Structure 1
Amino acid sequence: MNRPVEALPHALQPYWDLSLAAVQAEALQLALAEDLFETLASPCTPEALAQMHAWQPEATRHWLTLLWSMQLLDRSRDAASEWHYASSEVARRYLTSSSALDCGDAWRFRLASLRDFGAGLANGLRGEKRPAPLANGERWAVAARGHLAREQAAVTAPAACELVAYRRATESAWRLLDLGGGPGLVAVALAKAFPYMHGVVFELPEAADVAAQHIAEAGLASRLEARGGDLVRDDIGTGYDLIWCSSVLHFVPELSACLAKLHAALKPGGELICVHAEIPEEPEAARRMLSYYLPLLWQGRRVTQAGELRQALLAQGFEVCEAQPIALPMAPATALVARRRTK
């Protein structure tokens, strides 16, 4: 008798998965609201946890099993074959309130904002309602104090340090421009990793005040400056050895003019590390990216097609040295390293 062929996923499975993801999101949101991952720093049975919080034991057991399947909990059996659940390494690192890298509130903010946007798709399509601009200084300052600071500390700053470590010696002196640096934690992390570095965080004035506070709290005011201004109208300085530019170009009105300004701000031989998402040509990769960046596109912001940013850099006289994918939690991006030619 022939063995049955392993069943392939149904063609409709990706769309049913969208519905399943809603249950998983609610399970995680509940875990964060109840500070579950902090509670489960030590293993606990579902029954003991339910008794502790006056929850239904059977429902608690099923909820914990789902979180285990999402790799947010680990579990093991004791001698009596009872399951004990504990927070996984990922949950302890990024989703516990006591962790310096806690992104729980940031995740909940993203979930709420994307749900709100999704619920308004029909109105937006008919032009009945458009979202408020994201680049407003006051709104950006609120983000810099909240979810953006958490995401920078946990994700962007470590990625920046890793990228820059390949291009700058720890013992060398150099000058940084952190363009559109938000809360300034990328510049703070780089200053800690490179003790001879000095630099500027350039941001909208309201957000620059937040960056200045973080710089002062880190004891780096003698080496880092937070400068408020408008990227299009105001001077950003010159003589930089390296410019870190992450997700800024989505918001500038004229891409070529902005890149020309960055080119002029670099020393000859200086480098621009440009970290932005572009729309891939492959559908699955494009799906993940567009799910996050559709709100920007809906507002008329810029999200370039794959390869378009590289061509724009070349057109402004940059030499593109390297393109390296970066795995960011919400959507993947590419770090383009572009150098101002020495001649």
Structure 2
Amino acid sequence: MTSLTPERIIQVGMGFWPARTLQTAAKLGLFTTLGSQSMSGEEIADKLALAPRAIPDFPDALVALGFLERDGEGPEARYHNSEEAALFLDKASSAYIGGFLEMAHDRLYPFWEDLGEGLKTGEAQNEAKRGMASIFETAYSSQESLEQFLSAMSGISTGNFKALAADFDFSPYQTHCDVGGAEGILAIEVARANPHMSCLTADLPPVQPIAQAKIAEAGLSERVTTRAIDFFKDDLPKADVITMGMILHDWDLPTKKMLIAKAYDALPEGGAYIVIEQLIDDARRENVFGLMMSLNMLIEGGDAFDYTGADFAAWCTEAGFKKTEVMHLAGPSSAAIAYK
């Protein structure tokens, strides 16, 4: 008799249930509303303008998922954030990643309904399919949408940036440029962990004041500067270390190779080029999130895709780099490093 059960199939197949519950809680601001306090179900419903039917199922589901904790039973029960939710899902926390969940709620979830069509056509299933502006055009269409997009990117990347800043040996280098640096978080973390480094974060002009504000808030304006560039049109700034966090996977192979070549040209001999991605394992069997992210890039860009460390090594060798390596950072993410 087989010991197999359909439990895992059901969990994965119905995975949109817990995903949408968590996304919705983040979008409603539940974890930020709770903060460091506790509330009854009735108080939660009042604060979030929920219907009576939402209680107790909604908060209890989050208890079962491990994102809320509950003291007591029945109507008198009180809910508070789990340690994990308090750290990562309360906007008051410096480790907040909820922006990514909000973007998933607002954009990605509806687009994934058309994954099958994307697999058959190889074409993007996002705004472009609907005759709307692209993700980047949409993100830059207003200050509010730009800040949400940048917050989402920072949220999913900050842990990786901290790990790179702490674990990569920056001692042989003096200057660092983060290309496509968004809010400047990577440059801030490198400067914070390596007091000898002078850092630059480079991105499109509308991003510059947002990054400057983050840098000033971190008290690092003397060592972290900003520059407005368009990496499609402009040469990359010269630096001993050039980084790109979740940039290469946005594009097709010719564009990936173009950006790698630009990084090579901007580095001195012995310089390092570092990309941070959810690198797919070389055997393409283990990093589920990396493979899901690559399918997401199909949804977003059609011919955009994520890649393996071996892919990166081949492209960088072709560009002239002497040596490459992969450094694991956090969760499914790694840094792929090429030395000139």
**Fold match (TM-score > 0.5):** yes
What is the match of residue 313 of structure 1?
A: 316
What is the match of residue 232 of structure 1?
A: 232
1:242 and 2:241 are equivalent in the alignment: yes
What is the match of residue 71 of structure 1?
A: 66
Return the letter of the residue paired with 2:314.
Q
Higher relative contact order, structure no. (Cα contacts within 8 Å, ≥ 6 residues apart): 2
How far is 1:93 from its partner?
0.9
The farther-off stretch of 294-303 and 190-199 is: 294-303
**What is the aligned counterpart of 1:98 among 92, 96, 108?**
92
Matches within 5 A, 1:165-176: 165-168=166-169, 174-176=174-176
What is the match of residue 107 of structure 2?
A: 113
The farther-off stretch of 100-109 and 281-290 is: 281-290
Deviations 1:111-138 (A, max 9, x none): 3312221234466556797444444483
Structure 1 gap segments, 5+ residues each = none
Q: Is the 8 A contact 1:141 1:207 kept in 2?
A: no
Q: Is the 8 A contact 1:106 1:148 kept in 2?
A: no
How far is 1:309 from its partner?
1.1
What is the match of residue 177 of structure 2?
A: 177
**What is the aligned counterpart of 2:151 among 146, 149, 158?**
149
Return the letter of the residue paired with 2:274.
I
Q: Distance in 1 between matches of 2:338 and 2:67?
A: 38
Q: Is the 8 A contact 1:259 1:313 kept in 2?
A: yes
Q: Distance in 2 between matches of 1:46 and 1:116?
A: 29
| C-alpha spacing 1:306/1:223, structure 2 compared with 1 (3 Å) | closer
Deviations 1:136-177 (A, max 9, x none): 48359766522433542x45234223223333467x871001
Return the letter of the residue paired with 1:179.
V
1:325 and 2:291 are equivalent in the alignment: no
Q: Distance in 1 between matches of 2:78 and 2:262?
A: 58
How far is 1:20 from its partner?
3.0
Return the letter of the residue paired with 2:266.
A
The farther-off stretch of 299-308 and 182-191 is: 299-308
Q: Secondary structure at the match of 1:201?
A: strand
How many residue pairs match? The answer is 326
Q: Distance in 1 between matches of 2:309 and 2:258?
A: 20
Q: Distance in 1 between matches of 2:277 and 2:111?
A: 21
1:9 and 2:5 are equivalent in the alignment: yes
Matches within 5 A, 1:1-343: 7-10=3-6, 13-32=7-26, 34-37=28-31, 38-39=33-34, 41-43=36-38, 46=41, 60-76=55-71, 84-121=78-115, 125=120, 130-131=128-129, 132-136=133-137, 138=140, 145-149=147-151, 151-152=153-154, 154-168=155-169, 174-238=174-238, 240-250=239-249, 251=251, 253-280=254-281, 285=286, 288-297=289-298, 298-304=301-307, 307-327=310-330, 332-340=332-340
How far is 1:306 from its partner?
5.6
| C-alpha spacing 1:189/1:316, structure 2 compared with 1 (3 Å) | same
Q: Distance in 2 between matches of 1:254 and 1:175?
A: 25
Return the letter of the residue paired with 2:208.
A
TM-score of the superposition, structure 2-length normalised?
0.77
Q: Secondary structure at the match of 1:336?
A: strand
| C-alpha spacing 1:35/1:246, structure 2 compared with 1 (3 Å) | closer
Q: Is the 8 A contact 2:24 2:105 kept in 1?
A: no
Q: Is the 8 A contact 1:236 1:265 kept in 2?
A: yes
Q: Secondary structure at the match of 1:24?
A: helix
Q: Distance in 2 between matches of 1:277 and 1:49?
A: 36
How far is 1:218 from its partner?
3.8
TM-score of the superposition, structure 1-length normalised?
0.77
| C-alpha spacing 1:249/1:183, structure 2 compared with 1 (3 Å) | same
